[in-house]
């Protein structure tokens, strides 16, 4: 009896096939790619987004947050959401943010000095929000709320494709014609006479 994803035979053409030891007998490594590391990556990247002095570095750390969130989507068996999150947010929107920051030409010389009372008010507001979040999550029953990982077929790209091309094929084709006409319109408008 074998685990899923575990090959009982190691193939080497020069050596006779032998059985791979079960998971309990195999050496363990300290670095795992489980959900705990994904949470740590997401939280660390989010903290660095807020604390970075350079806005370009903040955008790059925000891309790290989106990659960690996409990893969580994959663990929850929602591959489509993970891919869309990477393409739309980590790709397109972050490139837009980078262009805006580069065009703004932010210099520390031109930055206005903030009042110390404004800084104190920001710290008090942030602390109040943290207090509300801790109070809201204190009574949450997290031990009994488990997410099923890699089970079921909800969120799979295959099922989305079946629904899109069987049940909603006419609206899908109408939207594709609409996008095609929009692209033709942009080319016509952008063409010089």
Q: What is the pLDDT of residues 93-127, one digit of tens each?
A: 888 887 887 777 666 566 677 788 998 999 999 99
User: Residue 182: CB partners within 8 Å, gap ≥ 6?
Assistant: none
Tokens 């795992």, residue located: 32
- For residues 93-107, one letter each, b for 16 or more C-beta atoms within 10 angstroms of the residue's C-beta and e for the rest, the string is ebeebeeeeeeeeee
Q: Work out the average pLDDT over 167-184.
A: 90
Assess if residue 65 is contained within a domain. yes
Whole-number Å distance between alpha carbons of 146 and 186? 48
pLDDT in tens, 59-88: 889 889 999 999 888 888 888 888 888 988
Prediction pTM value: 0.55
**Cβ proximity of 10 and 30 under 8 Å:** no
Assess if residue 174 is contained within a domain. no
Assess if residue 180 is contained within a domain. no
Mean of per-residue pLDDT scores for the chain: 76
| Number of domains making up the chain | 1
Assess if residue 73 is contained within a domain. yes
Higher local confidence (pLDDT), 7 or 126: 126
| Residue span of the structural domain in which 44 resides | 17-107+146-155
Assess if residue 124 is contained within a domain. no
User: Tell me, what CATH number does 86's domain have?
Assistant: 1.20.120.1200
Assess if residue 136 is contained within a domain. no
Assess if residue 192 is contained within a domain. no
Specify the pLDDT at position 131: 94
Assess if residue 84 is contained within a domain. yes
């Amino acid at each position: 009896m074998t685990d899923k994803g575990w090959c009982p035979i190691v193939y080497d053409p020069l050596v006779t096939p032998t059985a791979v030891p079960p998971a309990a007998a195999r050496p363990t490594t300290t670095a795992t790619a489980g959900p705990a590391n994904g949470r740590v990556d997401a939280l660390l990247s989010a903290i660095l987004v807020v604390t970075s002095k350079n806005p370009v570095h903040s955008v790059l750390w925000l891309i790290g947050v989106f990659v960690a969130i996409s990893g969580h989507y994959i663990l929850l068996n929602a591959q489509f959401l993970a891919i869309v999150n990477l393409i739309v947010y980590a790709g397109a929107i972050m490139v837009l943010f980078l262009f805006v920051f580069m065009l703004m030409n932010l210099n520390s010389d031109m930055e206005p000095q903030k009042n110390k009372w404004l800084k104190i008010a920001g710290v008090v507001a942030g602390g109040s929000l943290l207090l509300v979040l801790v109070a809201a999550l204190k009574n949450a029953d997290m031990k009994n709320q488990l997410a099923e990982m890699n089970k079921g077929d909800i969120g799979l790209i295959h099922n989305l494709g079946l629904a899109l091309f069987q049940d909603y094929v006419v609206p899908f084709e109408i939207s594709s014609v609409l996008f095609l006409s929009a692209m033709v319109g942009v080319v016509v408008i952008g063409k010089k006479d």
